Amino acid sequence: MPRDPSLHDQTRASGCWLLFQRQLTTRRVLPELTDRELADVGLDRHTALREARRPWWRLLLEAWRQSGRRDSRAAQSATGDGSSGCQSLRQTTASCSRPPRSRGHSEGSATSRQPLASR
């Protein structure tokens, strides 16, 4: 059955938008993290501030490129070309993972639901 190109474009656009929103939110939080929290995710203060100051349109462009790569991997695994479906799923899941939470807070604690600025 041939693929519908308009469905592919809609899927890519929605994936791009979700990825862009996640990246934008993560970058807004970076300047508020302590040096220890930044070290936990492998960043230093200089890199975190540089990432936080990047223009929004560059984030959108990167998200668009990343969503296209994910779509092409999924299409290859669906047609039997390229990598296995499991490998493609692992790569897609890894690129869409949530930003790391700070240590010491359980999912349901009152502290974990407060914004970083109010802690």
pLDDT of residue 24: 78
**What tens digit of pLDDT does each residue of 7-57 get?**
555 666 777 777 777 777 888 888 898 999 999 989 899 988 988 888 777
Which ranges of the chain does DSSP label H, i.e. alpha helix?
5-29, 35-40, 45-52, 56-79, 85-95, 110-113
Q: Is the pTM of this model over 0.75?
A: no
State how far the alpha carbon of 87 is from the alpha carbons of 39, 95, 111, in Å: 29, 12, 37
d(CA 105, CA 17): 29
Confidence bin at 92 (pLDDT 50/70/90)? very low
Tokens 């039997």, residue located: 80
If we measure between CA atoms, which residue out of 47, 51, 61, 52 comes closest to residue 17?
Answer: 61
Contact in structure between 72 and 91 (CB atoms under 8 Å): no
In the chain, where the domains are located: 5-94
State how far the alpha carbon of 111 is from the alpha carbons of 18, 28, 37, 50, 100, in Å: 26, 19, 16, 28, 16
**What tens digit of pLDDT does each residue of 52-71 get?**
888 777 777 777 787 776 55
Contact in structure between 77 and 84 (CB atoms under 8 Å): yes
